[in-house]
Amino acid sequence: MDETSLTALTGAERSRLRGLGQNLEPALKVGKGGLTPEFYAELSRLLASRELVKLRFIGADRPTRAKFIGQIAERSRCVLAGAVGHTALFYRAKAGAAE
């Protein structure tokens, strides 16, 4: 996927990524501490190595989760592939990866 894929994924791309994400365990959990610099550093490391990362939000209501998802996508330069309940799936292509 190219640079434009950070702003938008096609429906087929989202569907494929959500399918891959079903088998993933949440790699990170967002709790009372919120979105800390340590969280972003770990997420960046995971996205660089895996491309697809599942997060779990602990104790956050729907509006808070929506706010967190937007902040995570913007600050981590990744795109939301899908969100259901307390989990969200983020994708960022590896640098130099060609499909």
Domain range 3-91, its CATH number among 3.40.50.2000, 3.10.20.30, 3.30.70.3450, 3.30.110.60: 3.30.110.60
**Tens of pLDDT along the chain (99 residues)?**
344 345 578 999 999 999 999 999 999 999 888 899 999 999 999 999 999 999 999 988 999 999 999 999 999 999 999 999 999 999 998 876 544
Between β-strands 87-91 and 79-84, what pairing exists: parallel, antiparallel or unpaired?
Answer: antiparallel
What string of H, E and C letters represents the secondary structure of 28-64? EEECCCCCCHHHHHHHHHHHHHHCEEEEEECCCCHHH
Domain layout of the chain by residue ranges:
3-91
The confidence score (pLDDT) of residue 96 equals 65
